[in-house]
Amino acid sequence: MTRIWTESGFAEKDNWIIETEEVKAGEGERALLPLDDFLHAVEETNDIDLGVLVRPADDVMRLKSHLDRIALIAVQFPAFNDGRGFSHASLLRERLGYQGELRAVGDVLIDQVPLMLRTGFTSFAVTNSVAIRRLEEGRLPGIDNHYQPAARPASAEGGFSWRRRSVAG
């Protein structure tokens, strides 16, 4: 079972569907299209508020001219040890200036959520039972000190300009 989590809690309903050859969005559902399918669809329609699924080997820079039409970008994490999704998030937020919803999908583990938040993710499709339980309990792991800037604002604490301390929430 997949549950959608944001910092305000679990969503009651989510109508985004990752489309495949076998699975298509139905009535009342919205399609998350693989990057190539999205780029083809965006040329065929004037719709706004589209959704796109970015896989690890995809080039997110190809989305640059379409960001104003995208409501949700889902970034796939096929395995816990595949960190390319973090790079995609950083590129989308910092280089391309994407301001919409950025969702982590796939193998989302509780230990990765704080770093995913720092790199700009705003929602998470969570299937891991331990992660779901910990998020329900409000037990999000954290790291007090960070030695690199992030897509999310951090409090400036003096010292080195590149060193940031997280604000306890």
Residue 157 lies in a domain: no
Residue 149 lies in a domain: no
User: Which domain CATH number covers 28?
Assistant: 3.20.20.70
Residue 169 lies in a domain: no
Residue 53 lies in a domain: yes
Residue 151 lies in a domain: no
pLDDT tens for each residue of the chain, 169 residues long:
899 999 999 999 999 999 888 888 889 999 999 999 999 999 988 777 889 999 999 999 999 999 999 999 999 999 888 889 999 999 999 999 999 999 999 989 998 998 899 899 999 999 999 999 999 998 887 665 555 556 665 555 554 444 444 444 4
Residue 147 lies in a domain: no
The per-residue pLDDT for 127 is 93
> Following DSSP, what letter does each residue of the chain receive, concatenated?
--EEEETTEE-S---EEE--SS----TT-EEEEEHHHHHHHHHH----SEEEEE-TTS-GGGGGGGGGGEEEEEEEESSTT-THHHHHHHIIIIIS---SEEEEEES--GGGHHHHHHTT--EEEE--HHHHHHHHTT-----SEESS--SS--B--SSSTT-EEPPP-
The per-residue pLDDT for 48 is 76
The per-residue pLDDT for 49 is 82
**φ, ψ dihedrals at 121, nearest 5°:** -70, 140
The per-residue pLDDT for 169 is 43
The per-residue pLDDT for 47 is 78
Residue 14 lies in a domain: yes
The tally of domains found in the chain comes to 1
Handedness of CA 14, 63, 34, 77 (dihedral sign): negative
Residue 153 lies in a domain: no
pTM assigned to the model: 0.83
Contact (Cβ atoms closer than 8 angstroms) between residue 5 and residue 126 = yes
Q: Which domain holds residue 103?
A: 3-141
